[in-house]
């Protein structure tokens, strides 16, 4: 909530610099015996999903996740672990749609293949709107869809960052539906991190299916090329000849 937040890697040098100075007060120690490095290095983006879901009561509710990039997929895994009722998702990349199902989505729609995306969600949910919609893509079309997918009195979580302003029919889309919209960003220091560690160390959420490749750090160019094919999710790079 700090109005003067500086993000490592955005507002000052981050993981792509040769050397980084990090304030001691923001260093988080991991217990290697409980959290292997290939999982520990996923905590930063996973924490975004932990924070986004922490604003909502998920147990027993019908949940939609729009956008199956890494944080969307993390959200699916958390929602499943926390007792989501029906869990539906959308994307347009078949590789990601398969990962969504593997992580617990009951059904996933390809938004390029249906005309009326909200209607698909409502139909899959026995004709009623969904309780919570997580918008994780930042696509303007998905933001519009979110308000059509959610039920009256439901919750929309906005996480994906759109490139341009959106035009929203506030009367019909929000007020007459009595919606609550939570726009989330970042994490809570340190509440989110305690939950994150707990979920990973105790296996409540298993992130391994999202690691689609592990390579030596020197092969970083190969890693980026893999990501550009759309046939990858998270790639672990191991420095100095480290092995799993």
Q: For binding to a second copy (CB under 8 A), which residues are involved? A: 1-3, 55, 57-60, 78, 81-86, 143, 151-153, 158-159, 161-163, 165-171, 174-186, 195, 198-199, 202, 204
Q: Is the Cβ of residue 55 or residue 220 nearer to a second copy in the bound state?
A: 55
Q: Is the Cβ of residue 116 or residue 172 nearer to a second copy in the bound state?
A: 172
Two tokens, residue 195: 């939950």
| Rounded-to-integer distance, Cα 146 and Cα 89, Å | 11
CB 93 within 8 A of CB 53: no
Query: Residue with structure tokens 């519009």?
Result: 144
β-bridge partners, 29: none
Tell me how far, at minimum, the Cβ of 197 lies from a second copy, in Å: 10
Tell me how far, at minimum, the Cβ of 91 lies from a second copy, in Å: 20
| Rounded-to-integer distance, Cα 40 and Cα 99, Å | 20
Q: Is the Cβ of residue 195 or residue 232 nearer to a second copy in the bound state?
A: 195
Tell me how far, at minimum, the Cβ of 118 lies from a second copy, in Å: 14
| Rounded-to-integer distance, Cα 118 and Cα 2, Å | 35
Q: Is the Cβ of residue 165 or residue 244 nearer to a second copy in the bound state?
A: 165
Q: Is the Cβ of residue 183 or residue 242 nearer to a second copy in the bound state?
A: 183
Tell me how far, at minimum, the Cβ of 72 lies from a second copy, in Å: 15
Tell me how far, at minimum, the Cβ of 27 lies from a second copy, in Å: 18
Tell me how far, at minimum, the Cβ of 216 lies from a second copy, in Å: 34
What are the backbone angles phi and psi of residue 28, rounded to the nearest 5°? -115, 125
Nearest CA among 244, 196, 219, 202 for reference residue 37: 244
Nearest CA among 192, 189, 132, 137 for reference residue 159: 137
Two tokens, residue 209: 């299916």
How far is Cα of residue 159 from the mean position of the Cα atoms in its chain? 8
Q: Is the Cβ of residue 110 or residue 124 nearer to a second copy in the bound state?
A: 124
Query: Residue with structure tokens 């707990």?
Result: 198
């Amino acid at each position: 909530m700090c109005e003067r937040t500086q993000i490592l890697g955005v507002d000052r040098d981050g993981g792509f610099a040769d050397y980084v100075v990090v304030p001691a007060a923001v260093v988080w120690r991991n217990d290697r015996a409980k959290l292997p490095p290939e999982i520990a290095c996923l905590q930063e983006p996973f924490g975004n999903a932990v924070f986004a879901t922490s604003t909502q009561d998920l147990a027993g509710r019908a949940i939609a996740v729009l956008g199956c990039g890494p944080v969307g997929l993390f959200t699916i895994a958390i929602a499943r672990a926390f007792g989501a009722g029906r869990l539906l998702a959308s994307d347009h990349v078949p590789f990601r749609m398969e990962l969504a199902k593997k992580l617990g989505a009951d059904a996933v729609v390809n938004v390029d293949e249906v005309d009326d995306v909200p209607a698909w969600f409502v139909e899959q949910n026995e004709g009623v709107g969904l309780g919570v919609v997580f918008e994780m893509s930042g696509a303007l079309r998905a933001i519009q869809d979110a308000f059509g997918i959610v039920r009256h009195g439901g919750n929309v979580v906005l996480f994906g960052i759109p490139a341009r302003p959106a035009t929203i029919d506030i009367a019909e889309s929000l007020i007459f539906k009595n919606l609550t919209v939570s726009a989330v960003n970042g994490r809570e220091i340190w509440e989110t991190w305690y939950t994150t560690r707990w979920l990973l160390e105790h296996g409540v959420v298993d992130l391994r299916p999202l690691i689609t490749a592990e390579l030596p750090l020197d092969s970083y160019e190969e890693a980026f090329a893999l990501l550009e094919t759309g046939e990858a999710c998270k790639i672990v790079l191991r420095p100095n000849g480290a092995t799993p």
